[in-house]
Amino acid sequence: MSASRGEFSSRFGFIMAAAGSAVGLGNIWGFPTQTASNGGAAFLVAYLILAFCLAYPALMAELVIGRHGQANAVSALRKVTNQAWQKKFAFLVGFGGIICAGLILSFYAIVAGWMLSATLEPIAQLTGQVQAQTWLSEQSLSRNIIFTAAFIILTIAIISKGVENGIEKWSKRLMPALLGILFMLIIYVMTQEGAVEGLKAYLVPDFSSILNPELLVNALGQAFFSLSLGTSVMIIYGSYISKKENLVSLGAYVTLIDVFIAFVAGLLIIPAMYVAQAQGVQIFSAEGTLLSEDTLVFQVLPALFTSMGYVGIFVGFAFFALMSIAALTSSISMLEAPVSYAVERFALKRLQATWLIGGLIALVSFTIVFNLGSLFGFVITLTTKIAQPLLGLMCCIFVGWIWHRSALLKEIQQGCPEAGNSFFWKVWPWYIKFVCPIAIALVFANSLLS
Ligand code: PHE
């Protein structure tokens, strides 16, 4: 490993950085919203199955490619190829992932901007700044532009500092705090009227809807989004893992933490929706469908915090502050994907590359802000429901079909000499070769045909 590339300094540091990438708005904004609009518990069951059976093996594929390549996504994918067409394919998948990461950041920064403004709102309230409070709490062009820009600048500031002092240092600080505050809020919500009904909607599945093609494709997209797959992010994070580490357990930790936090966020948000509805906030229409999907969390949670009285102001502040931080540990991974490519491919300085690419992404973000009604949903669908699963599938094809099995095994055995004999490694190469691509393709075909 060349010293200039950077490397995670410890196992804990990697887990926190990769889990930091995985845990973000997808867990606390995306997952509960998707669950609520896709039939509650049935979605949860589909999600859990797809996350462990398809997304985790696909995550392993990306981490292995990355650690083997010790380079940006395009070069790492190229390294396992030997024929000309394979090299072109590697470029397509690696570069496609990089573009996908940039596009995700462009809408992610908007939602994270909402989180930032929701963090400042309680401060405005406490200090009696009524005008500022109204401005912070309402959707407006000026608010969205300012906070989107602020969030992108924060992301740039961290990424320009590199792996160990930027990504790792920040990622490992605040995850425990986020969990603590989630649990505290769940306990409070459970004491409120309506919570039990919400809990039932979340935990008691109606199995008849589980094979609904729309539900399945949404759950797959959500699982890939949540584990940051198909965006070359996990390839690049994999490339910063030391050869001494055991990849299987690292990947398993990241998946478990990610799924656990999404599940816990559901325990908070879904019952909170029912509590808010019982308190007179309009969450569902008369037919029982969700009224405002994208901004759901921003209606439900503030209503909850208000119901807590004075304490709610502090809890609201702490919650949204931690959410902004969780969003930041994800957004830095999205920016790292194109930046590491630009630095290695065009020999740019990290600082220049970060500002250049961050600036470009900000322009795309502003375009979306100006056309929120038409572009926001479109970019989300394009990246998370289509591009991520398909690019993730391609990574499985690289590992299963293009890379030589013996070379793959050699890479895996670094840091885990007994790997060759373990059950996981005996099954996984076949699994990634046949089961993952076919299952992902089936979920797609199913939703296209329905
Ligand atoms: N996994 C992140 C989340 O759940 C989002 C993400 C997607 C991060 C793609 C990096 C790449 O919020």
Predicted local confidence at residue 256, as pLDDT:
96
Q: What string of DSSP letters covers 289-326?
A: -BS-TTTHHHHHHHHHHHHTTHHHHHHHHHHHHHHHHH
Instruction: Judge whether 389 and 230 are in contact, CB under 8 Å.
Output: yes
Binned at pLDDT 50, 70 and 90, residue 393 comes out as very high
Nearest protein Cα to ligand 1, atom 11 = 228
> Tens digits of per-residue pLDDT, 15-39?
878 888 899 999 998 999 999 889 8
Domains identified in the chain and CATH numbers: 11-449 (1.20.1740.10)
Given a contact cutoff of 8 angstroms between Cβ atoms, the answer to whether 231 and 104 are in contact is yes
pLDDT tens per residue across span 89-129:
999 999 999 999 999 999 999 999 999 999 999 999 999 99
CA distance 32 to 186: 14
Task: Return the higher-pLDDT residue of 352 and 39.
Answer: 352
- What number is the average pLDDT over the span 345-367? 96
Nearest ligand 1 atom to the CA of 24 is 12
- 368/295: higher pLDDT: 368
Ligand 1 atom nearest residue 326's Cα: 12
In this predicted structure, what is the pLDDT of residue 17? 81
From 231, 333, 386, give the residue whose CB has the most ligand 1 atoms within 8 Å, as the site to mutate: 333
Q: Alpha-carbon distance 429 to 409, whole Å?
A: 9
Q: What is the pTM of this model?
A: 0.91
Residue whose C-alpha is closest to residue 164's, from 325, 3, 353, 324: 3
| Nearest C-alpha neighbor of 111 from the set 326, 317, 429 | 326
Residue 58 Cα to ligand 1 middle (Å): 15
- What pLDDT score does 262 carry? 96
pLDDT of residue 307: 85
Residue nearest to ligand 1 atom 7, measured at CA: 228
Packed helices 310-346 and 350-370: angle between N→C axes, nearest 10 degrees = 120
Q: Whose CA is nearest to atom 10 of ligand 1?
A: 228
Residues with CB under 6 A from ligand 1: 21-22, 24-27, 101, 104, 225-226, 228, 231, 233, 330, 333-334
Q: 75 or 421: whose pLDDT is higher?
A: 75
